[in-house]
Amino acid sequence: MIDVEICVDSAAGALAAEQGGARRVELCDNLLEGGTTPSAGTIKVARKLIQIGLQVIIRPRGGDFLYSEEEMEIIREDIAMAKVLGADGIVCGFLDAGGRVDRSRTAEIIALTRPLNFTFHRAFDMARDPFEALEDLVALGANRILTSGQEATCMEGLELLSELRARAAGRIIIMPGGGLTPRNVRKVVDATGVSEVHLSARHTVESGMTHRNSRCFMGGTLRPPEFSWKVTDPEAVRQVVANLSRG
């Protein structure tokens, strides 16, 4: 069986992922920036609603993965809180200014995460040398790497994903994520030989607001629409699970 991890941005999304047959969720906020740390309330309610695995991303902001000491302190506090609230795993990642895995910070955070599992997220896709980064993370004891193969999507990164999985040789899990859909997920699994996949499986819903002020908006210049948003689609999750269950 292929483990399906669904990236969600709400407690309701976590429940939809479970209803669709996912093995676990990665709980985030702010998916427009690639995911940031969800609120304590979101973690607590998601844990109450689902029985499947609950991974929590710990990322204090969007942008790069070169953090200040103040941001590191926030990361430490958020991990401690996520553990109290019932997370099963932590998703995080650290690079130095030269684009290498920050071994010192990664070692510290993996130790702080235990006994939970630790996923090094797509900070990996910004690493200077993916094979050096792979060996660093194996040596540090990370459980898995979430990666698109250092390309915009997993379909474009298939060659590197396959090579990473081969070089990992069971020492660490390589989990493709980025641009996966119910239609292409089987192709990625067959081409790479991986045992886990990560995707969002969402659809757009419309706001129930009948009064809509179109003169202003609640964000910056690059912004999502005010009166629609994306939610996890249990039917899309079911399609992924069904596609991966076929021989």
pLDDT of residue 225: 64
pLDDT of residue 206: 87
Q: What angle do CA 161, 144, 40 make, to 5 degrees?
A: 125
> Domains of the chain by range and CATH?
3-245 (3.20.20.380)
Residue of 185, 183, 219, 184 lying closest to 175 (CA atoms): 185
The DSSP string of the chain is --EEEEEESSHHHHHHHHHHT-SEEEE-B-GGGT-BPPPHHHHHHHHHH--SEEEEE--SSSS-S---HHHHHHHHHHHHHHHHTT-SEEEE--B-TTSSB-HHHHHHHHHHHTTSEEEE-GGGGG-S-HHHHHHHHHHHT-SEEEE-SSSSSTTTTHHHHHHHHHHHTTSSEEEEBSS--TTTHHHHHHHH--SEEEE--EEEEE---S---TT--SS-SS---TTEEEEE-HHHHHHHHHHHH--
pLDDT at 227 over 70: no
Sign of the Cα pseudo-torsion (16, 22, 23, 29, in order): negative
What tens digit of pLDDT does each residue of 148-186 get? 999 999 999 999 999 999 999 999 999 999 999 999 999
pLDDT at 226 over 60: no
Cα distances from 1 to residues 117, 194, 207, 230, 241, in angstroms, run: 20, 11, 37, 28, 9
pLDDT of residue 223: 61
What tens digit of pLDDT does each residue of 100-158 get? 999 999 999 999 999 999 999 999 999 999 999 999 999 999 999 999 999 999 999 99
Task: Look at the block and give the residue holding tokens 């506090």.
Answer: 77
Q: Is the pTM of this model over 0.85?
A: yes
Residue of 60, 1, 49 lying closest to 25 (CA atoms): 49
Radius of gyration (Cα) for the chain, nearest Å? 18
pLDDT at 27 over 60: yes
